[in-house]
Structure 1
């Protein structure tokens, strides 16, 4: 899975991984999540605001693109669910028929979709149970990992980095893995925070909930991989296999229940988030119909059966798109539109056409997204691992794309003809 596998199968020391996981993730989240305060303040999704950046048709185009390239993640969750079930059955001497893998994948998708179909109340209930249980499982895994092998084996872990021409490269790649992973959360960053009552709550819930908790599970994965490598000679990150190998099968069975629940819960939350995203663009479509369309998409990917093989490519493309998207939202909200928007224009109420731009597309915003994608790919090829510019690579591909796109958009916004084009809403500002 290329650069994104570095967080779980570390190419840096364990202490470096701790710094990169927590500092890298929280730093990126603390910056790009700031515009989430608009969702709490106005009770709207960021995709309503982004109509000013991309235009009515442009934001629909971007929404569909992001879902196509990022929603395959939930097919991976379904595959992990099926694999864990198969692995556990194998531990107890039961060999499942080959067709059951697909059946279990589809079961995971169906169960998650049913939860999402019931709406935000079911999602809230699910996450209130899911998060504490997963954190407890993570603590157990860390304890088992550190007690099953000598403490120094994990704490002083040093990977073989001889394949890299410079020793700093694997560390930058580790930081990039965390940057790129958390930046992919921008598309759905407002769906839950917009339901909170305080702007600070909506902001810190995303930063600490996704940053600290997410980084914790990156570290958990690393502990598992290092411990299993020490015992079996293989980097294995399946918690069921790890707990069965390093502890007792009963504990592995308990972990299976949590892992299964986690993947179903992840499917449910993802379906809800992306369903809300689609509802923002397709206002007349029924939310439940959109949820079913997403389920069919994931189901087709499961039937296809090659999502794991090509998942690195999906993540590569999504990270390239998300970084400029996050930059545009940040710069537009704070520096260009300065937290003022025409809600009539955003929702297409009355005769407002301020966000129609050029045939429904804001060519400036879309051009900046294309430029941001190019910035990332021009300094690093995540598929081949080739570095085109070591100087810029130190900023990480995602970091450079975020900074470069933000600067480009701001500079364009102060050019008089461009400024008149993108700020045609000033006479209709309502919030």
Structure 2
């Protein structure tokens, strides 16, 4: 197999000359990933907490904070070294520790996202059919499962062709999605002024304090920003350099996600439904509603394709010895069997979307804090590239039994701090929640604990290669 193809799909470092994405290509890829209907769903969920004015502020503030921190944690190192994200994590968690993090972050949570987006695809198609057939939508009908499986199959076909096909898909869909967003905003403004829209109230108020409701909205959006953690590193490794790997995240992910959420928030409050597949049937006439619903449905495939690609790349390198005899196409199809099964095992996953989103933040916020401290403070932006690929005790990143105990402990503590600060199920919160949020506090606590534990237990034992910067730490040419 050609080296570039193997590097794109496997664990080998990708040289800058072989990377596909420049600044605007990566921006479009991010925009296509971020502007899918999960943005509408998050925005719609905000309508249950805050009105439009507070919601828009929470969307911008939360997304920028979350995406900024995740970009620092995973994108800059990926852009510098061209390494697959979970291979690079060996320098933080150890060889076996990175495998464990992969299982938690990708097998469980990524599968959940694929199911949620697949169901969104199915419900959008169902809503379009209901407009044509002049019937009520059937969001829980048996045919939703069939259409969701079709969405997973389409995604598998795109990803099986590799990142080049994803790039083509992104450059077509992302600009068109912005047009759709603009069209929806135009429809909102047809019978309402900007002032009227900004003053639309929340559909409900879960807590008596407006300040708490606002902070919950901010927390949800920081959680949305942190939820990009599993994907941005593996997408960033296909970019030309560190600058290209970092800044398009804020433009593509931050701005596009904010726009999608804003449309979802306004639509939900204006039409009285937090589910975008329901209120989109009311956005315009017959053809407009059908066109928007169909396009939004297939826009989910762009997000699903980017997610699936990063998951399979990580899978290949994490369990290379076991899976090396399987082709890329077989791994893609095999991985897709998991969300296909989960679709039937956990049919309520879509309706429990908010709980799922908050749990992702509980885990990714801690991981983000740890990785920022490790790369920028303890390693001063240098790793031994060769040792990332050396198996066993010969690697300086083997730590203790393949685990960096300091990182694993900090990860657990960070997740616990999050749940003590903000309950993912009930949204009950501590007294300090309104000042710290749960995500930011968990990231800070996990990062601080990791720094202290490393100074006390890891560096004195000369584990992890922190004592010197090796000559092999330069990125591949």
Same fold, TM-score > 0.5, yes or no? yes
Aligned residue for 1:203? Answer: 246
Matched, 1:255 2:295: no
Aligned residue for 1:292? Answer: 333
Aligned residue for 2:83? Answer: 44
Aligned residue for 1:56? Answer: 95
| Count of matched residue positions in the alignment of Structure 1 and Structure 2 | 423
1:140-173 per-residue CA deviation (whole Å, 9 max, x = no partner) reads 1111112234543321123376542422101100
Aligned residue for 2:357? Answer: 315
Within 5 Å, give how 1:26-425 maps onto structure 2. Answer: 26-35=64-73, 36-67=75-106, 68-93=108-133, 98-159=141-202, 163-229=206-272, 234-238=273-277, 241-284=278-321, 285=323, 286-304=327-345, 305-348=347-390, 352-387=394-429, 389-415=430-456, 418-424=459-465
Tell me how far 1:6 sits from its aligned partner.
6.7
Instruction: Give secondary structure in 2 for the equivalent of 1:384.
Output: coil
Aligned residue for 2:54? Answer: 16
Tell me how far 1:244 sits from its aligned partner.
3.8
Separation in 1 of the partners of 2:281 and 2:70?
Answer: 40
1:226-269 per-residue CA deviation (whole Å, 9 max, x = no partner) reads 2213xxxx44422xx54542420100121122112112222222
| Unpaired stretches in structure 2, ≥5 consecutive residues | 1-37
Separation in 1 of the partners of 2:424 and 2:126?
Answer: 32
Contact 2:369 2:444 in 1 (8 A): yes
| Unpaired stretches in structure 1, ≥5 consecutive residues | none
Contact 2:206 2:213 in 1 (8 A): no
Separation in 2 of the partners of 1:180 and 1:419?
Answer: 35
In structure 2, relative to structure 1, the CA distance for the partners of 1:142 and 1:303 (3 Å cut) is same
In structure 2, relative to structure 1, the CA distance for the partners of 1:246 and 1:357 (3 Å cut) is closer
RMSD after superposition: 2.5
In structure 2, relative to structure 1, the CA distance for the partners of 1:248 and 1:376 (3 Å cut) is same
Q: TM-score, normalised by structure 1?
A: 0.91
Separation in 1 of the partners of 2:51 and 2:134?
Answer: 38
Contact 1:70 1:314 in 2 (8 A): no
Tell me how far 1:123 sits from its aligned partner.
0.6
Q: TM-score, normalised by structure 2?
A: 0.82
Instruction: Give secondary structure in 2 for the equivalent of 1:276.
Output: helix
Separation in 2 of the partners of 1:11 and 1:392?
Answer: 16
Tell me how far 1:276 sits from its aligned partner.
1.5
Tell me how far 1:91 sits from its aligned partner.
1.7
Tell me how far 1:329 sits from its aligned partner.
1.0
